[in-house]
Amino acid sequence: MAVADSTLKALLQPVIEALGCELWGIELQTGGKRKVLRIYIDREEGIGVEDCERVSRQSSSVLDVEDVISGEYVLEVSSPGMDRPLYELDQYQRFVGEDISLKLRFPYDGRRNFKGRLVGIDGDEIVLVVADTEYLFPIEGIDKANVVPRF
């Protein structure tokens, strides 16, 4: 039985915020030989190893008590990094003007992968410009999105 991201978020967000961090995102990967629960945290000042350790210890304790993930799993806590994943509309809003890459759940115009400039949010859709063509993608239709780092 897979546990919903919303259940994990409701459980972990108060713990992470109490430690002075922001819960950026949660990924539970169940394919392969082992389950991996990846928690991304952020802070305005940036994330250090100590932050990851504290969040890992506290999250692990809460997850053990609540027992929401069946079986064994590996817990990873890290910053979102330069190519940070985007999960929610407010996160997309923070990166308007940046380049992002995204993968759709279902093909649009025969393709699922798009890379372009995030130019805005319209309701529950993101506005992406790819080679002078503007696309509107509903957030529910996006499987994965990441900020493209600038060097």
Burial class (CB in 10 A: 0-12, 13-18, 19+), 142: buried
Biggest CA–CA distance in the chain, Å, is: 52
Q: Using one digit for the tens of pLDDT, what is the confidence trace for 111-150?
A: 999 999 999 999 999 999 999 999 999 999 999 999 999 8
Say if residue 84's pLDDT is above 60.
Answer: yes
The structural domains of the chain, ordered by start, are 5-78 (3.30.300.70), 89-147 (2.30.30.100)
Which pTM value belongs to this model?
Answer: 0.86
Q: Using one digit for the tens of pLDDT, what is the confidence trace for 27-82?
A: 998 877 889 999 999 999 999 999 999 999 999 999 988 888 888 899 999 999 99
Burial class (CB in 10 A: 0-12, 13-18, 19+), 98: middle
